[in-house]
Amino acid sequence: MPDLNPDLVRRIVREALDEDGAFHDVTTLTTVPPEQRGRGVFLAKDHGVLAGLPLVVAAFAAIDPSVQVHASLVDGAWLEPGTNIARVEGPLASILSAERIALNFLQRLSGVATATKRLTDAVAGLPVRVVDTRKTTPGLRALERYAVQVGGGHNHRFNLTDGVLIKDNHIAAGRSRGLTLGQVVSAARSGAPHTLRIEVEVTSYEEAQEAVEARADIILLDNMTPAAMKRCVEMIAGRALTEASGGVTAVNARAIAESGVDIISSGALTHSAPALDISLDLEI
């Protein structure tokens, strides 16, 4: 499994707990005595891939270090309805105050991992890489990218400093100044560090030709049909990596992959993945 920065996890969890008012949980403080102990079990209610256990552990530890979490599985495990994921035990008030945040992270990240697994399964056996995009929840990008990896996918650039990606609006801005697509690519190549690749988003065969002639390193074929992608891939003929994006689903991913592209990127992995149904059932 990929690594998560423990300091980052603690910071994000603390911010979430603060947002939820978990350290001043009025309901629990007034109804559950501090000496009462309890335990509970995290149960899967649906099929999917587990992701987010480090956040669960961090949430309870931040509220009360005496709360113990005993995981039955590890991130990346396949879940069936009724699967026992982990047990938690300790002061009941602490368990109740951290419960929602622990579940929010576990359900959200497991949902992303599950959506990624479905997409990677759809293209299994083909030489293509499934990657995420920057369409992530603000502040949670590192966590959601982690979940994509847990689900068997890969990561695109982390932020705007990690690579040059000339999109349609950059091209439009250049054309408004009388620049060709090739001149926009040349400007990026001359101004960006030599260590960064130049990727260009195109929407037609003609634009793909321009991008190849401008020596783009990666050509993003945006919202094209598999047939149109195949034609572009054949023309590019290995002179650049090819990436397919736009409207990718588990239903059409295999046809897209069969066009010969090297990469399939999907924003839906993070912006539209439904949370996996997981509960915390208390045993008092």
Indicate whether 250 belongs to any domain: yes
Shared domain check, 127 and 104: no
pLDDT > 90? residue 256: yes
* pLDDT tens for each residue of 143-159: 999 999 999 999 999 99
* CB-based contacts of 5-14 (< 8 A; 24+ apart in sequence): 5/142, 6/54, 8/142, 9/54, 9/55, 9/58, 9/143, 10/58, 10/62, 12/55, 12/139, 12/140, 12/143, 13/55, 13/58, 13/59, 13/62, 13/101, 13/105, 14/62
Shared domain check, 102 and 157: no
Structure tokens at 20: 């939820």
Which domain covers residue 221, as residue numbers? 121-271
Indicate whether 157 belongs to any domain: yes
- Alpha-helical runs (H) found in the chain: 6-20, 26-31, 53-63, 92-122, 141-150, 168-175, 181-191, 205-213, 226-236, 253-257, 268-271
Residue in 236, 165, 247 with CA at minimum distance from that of residue 205? 236
Shared domain check, 247 and 137: yes
Shared domain check, 183 and 95: no
Indicate whether 71 belongs to any domain: yes
Indicate whether 107 belongs to any domain: yes
Kind of pairing between the strands at 84-91 and 164-166: unpaired
Name 176's Cβ contacts closer than 8 Å, sequence gap at least 6.
none
Q: Give the phi and the psi of residue 200 in degrees, each rounded to 5.
A: -125, 130
Shared domain check, 266 and 126: yes
Residue 145 annotated in active site: no
* pLDDT tens for each residue of 36-78: 999 999 999 999 999 999 999 999 999 999 999 999 999 999 9
Shared domain check, 259 and 126: yes
Catalytic residue among 11, 15, 18, 167: 167
Residue 145's CATH number: 3.20.20.70
Q: How far apart are CA 122 and CA 138, in angstroms?
A: 28
Query: Is 251 in a helix, a strand, or coil?
Result: coil
Indicate whether 1 belongs to any domain: no
Which residues, listed in sequence order, are joined to residue 200 by a DSSP beta bridge? 166, 219
Catalytic residue among 222, 230, 254, 262: 222
Q: What is the side-by-side order of every strand in the sheet holding 84-91?
A: 68-71, 84-91, 37-44, 278-283
pTM over 0.85: yes
Catalytic residue among 100, 141, 157, 231: 100
Going by pLDDT thresholds of 50, 70 and 90, the confidence category of residue 227 is: very high
Residue in 126, 148, 104 with CA at minimum distance from that of residue 267? 148
| Mean confidence (pLDDT) of the chain | 97
Q: How far apart are CA 273 and CA 267, in angstroms?
A: 9
148: amino acid identity, one letter? V
Going by pLDDT thresholds of 50, 70 and 90, the confidence category of residue 284 is: confident
* pLDDT tens for each residue of 176-205: 999 999 999 999 999 999 999 999 999 999
> Measured in whole angstroms, how far is the alpha carbon of residue 120 from the centre of its chain?
13
Residue 135 annotated in active site: yes
CB atoms within 10 A of CB 1: 12
Residue 109's CATH number: 3.90.1170.20
Name 248's Cβ contacts closer than 8 Å, sequence gap at least 6.
119, 256, 264, 265, 266, 268
Shared domain check, 165 and 242: yes
pLDDT score of 237: 98
Shared domain check, 202 and 75: no
Catalytic residue among 39, 135, 189, 231: 135
Structure tokens at 280: 């915390």
What's the number of domains the chain is made of?
2
Report the half-sphere exposure of 135 (CA within 13 A, side-chain side): 15
Residue 201 annotated in active site: yes
Shared domain check, 248 and 126: yes
Q: How far apart are CA 279 and CA 257, in angstroms?
A: 36
pLDDT > 80? residue 220: yes
Shared domain check, 265 and 185: yes
Shared domain check, 127 and 229: yes
Indicate whether 69 belongs to any domain: yes
Shared domain check, 279 and 196: no
Q: How far apart are CA 108 and CA 272, in angstroms?
A: 11
Q: How far apart are CA 183 and CA 171, in angstroms?
A: 10
